[in-house]
Amino acid sequence: MAEKSFKYVIVGGGVAAGYAAREFAKQGVKPGELAVISKEAVAPYERPALSKAYLFPEGTARLPGFHVCVGSGGERLLPEWYAEKGISLILSTEIVKADLSSKTLASAAGETFKYQILIIATGSTVIKLSDFGVQGADAKNIFYLREIDDADKLVEAIKAKKNLKAVVVGGGYIGLELSAALRVNNIDATMVYPEPWCMPRLFTAGIAAFYEGYYANKGVKIIKGTVAVGFGTNENGEVTDVKLKDGRVLEADIVVVGVGGKPLATLFKGQVEEEKGGIKTDAFFKTSVPDVYAVGDVATFPLKLYGELRRVEHVDHARKSAEQAVKAIFASEQGKSVDEYDYLPFFYSRAFDLSWQFYGDNVGETVLFGDSSPTSTTHKFGSYWIKDGKVVGAFLESGQDLLCFLGNKVILLDDFYIVCREESNGLILSFWVFFPSM
């Protein structure tokens, strides 16, 4: 097949790729200079929709409704947009080999792509139970959720028959959001995870207690402190039950697994410097190889706020890191500079009628405030983390304006806390008073 050459190539078709393409257009990329190569069959879309409205029986999300960049309130980039901008959107094309020394990429179909500047936006892939040798993990109707094809298969299974019993393996983002979506579909759902509470990487025990109680009130059964060690199947190879390590066996017509992800960096193994499981970059997302950038889930970058290298798996970082890399590329070409990436970690989720957001870091002393009862009519509550007398992290359910807390001084009194915003001269501009519930 004929070789194709581009000045810029983005490998990957997820959120980061879409936002990078938009930034290229803003920076004035010329027609024919940029290619986006994706193994998926559709243009980049807002991936978080797959575990939310895509599965709803009413108000269902479908493409083209959630193509990037609607997730940040921007223009929806339909396939026609790429053509109008002179950007080559190359879909259903999996890159299976990358030679960074010769600036060459090869596809599964034998196509060859040359580039001058490469952006790696391959994201991450799901960790499968078969990776751990779990018996029966390859049975039919065991689902993972990463791409739109995965979501389509799950939707088909949900519609296949009534009175389904579903088991969700994992208590993180996917576990919580999918358990809620299954219950919205009136499916009998049981969530299983090994940790002492849900979302342990972010939630404290106090925060988790609200969500576990709320989900239980919605009919989601929760089993903690154990893992799936095997699956039973019928004569058609379909899953029939989930065997737990503690000896229990759960009936299941479908199983959804959400036990984490891992960065898709295999193509570049041994060619770029790696750190903490990802491709190491600087504050402009340049890798150790000239003219190669890495963004989104796959990048381990200097988190300026905390003075350390981190890899962040979240859509907010995917969007912002992609934009930063493209700005840095054009600035370099013009002999200019851009500010270093100064990222404030941000996470959010929506399920049932809940909506939480988190900014910062969950380290230090924790203060829980508001009404965190699972039966609360408003379910408005929050938490903040205090370290060295400053607010370093803030979490809020069903509210707004968390950013006002971060970095501010904390005064601890007998029965309440005062968070003060100060000017450099020590003048207090405003303050918030909290009566913690624990």
pLDDT tens for 132-186 read 999 999 999 999 999 999 999 999 999 998 899 999 999 999 999 999 999 999 9
Query: Strand, helix or coil at 154?
Result: helix
Weakest mean pLDDT among 196-210, 217-231, 316-330, 379-393: 379-393
Q: What is the pTM of this model?
A: 0.91
Question: What percent of the chain lies above the pLDDT cut of 70?
Answer: 91
The per-residue DSSP string of 325-377 comes to HHHHHHHHHTT---PPP----EEEEEETTEEEEEEE---SEEEEEE---TT-S
Report all structural domains of the chain as residue ranges with CATH numbers, in order of start: 3-125+262-333 (3.50.50.60), 129-259 (3.50.50.60), 353-434 (3.30.390.30)
Q: Which residue has the higher pLDDT, 66 or 405?
A: 66
pLDDT interval class at 9 (50, 70, 90)? very high
Q: How many CB atoms lie within 10 A of CB 26?
A: 12
pLDDT tens for 47-62 read 999 999 999 999 899 9
Cis amide bond preceding 69, omega within 30: yes
Cα angle: 188, vertex 168, 353; to 5 degrees: 70
Whether the predicted pLDDT of 109 surpasses 70: yes
What average pLDDT does this structure show over 5-22? 98
* pLDDT at res. 1: 65
* pLDDT at res. 53: 93
E-strand ranges in 22-93 read 34-37, 88-90
Pairing of strands 239-244, 390-397: unpaired
pLDDT tens for 306-344 read 899 999 999 999 999 999 999 999 999 999 999 999 998
Nearest residue to 121 (alpha-carbon basis) of 262, 264, 261, 24: 264
What average pLDDT does this structure show over 196-221? 96
- State how far Cα 336 lies from the chain centre: 32
Asked if 177 contacts 275 with a C-beta cutoff of 8 angstroms, the reply is no
Mean pLDDT (the chain) is 91
The structure tokens listed for 279 are: 């491709």
Whether the predicted pLDDT of 423 surpasses 50: no
pLDDT interval class at 199 (50, 70, 90)? very high
pLDDT interval class at 204 (50, 70, 90)? very high
Q: Which residue has the higher pLDDT, 39 or 377?
A: 39
What average pLDDT does this structure show over 344-362? 91
Q: What are the helix (H) ranges across 185-314?
A: 205-217
Whether the predicted pLDDT of 400 surpasses 70: no
* pLDDT at res. 246: 96
Question: What percent of the chain lies above the pLDDT cut of 90?
Answer: 79
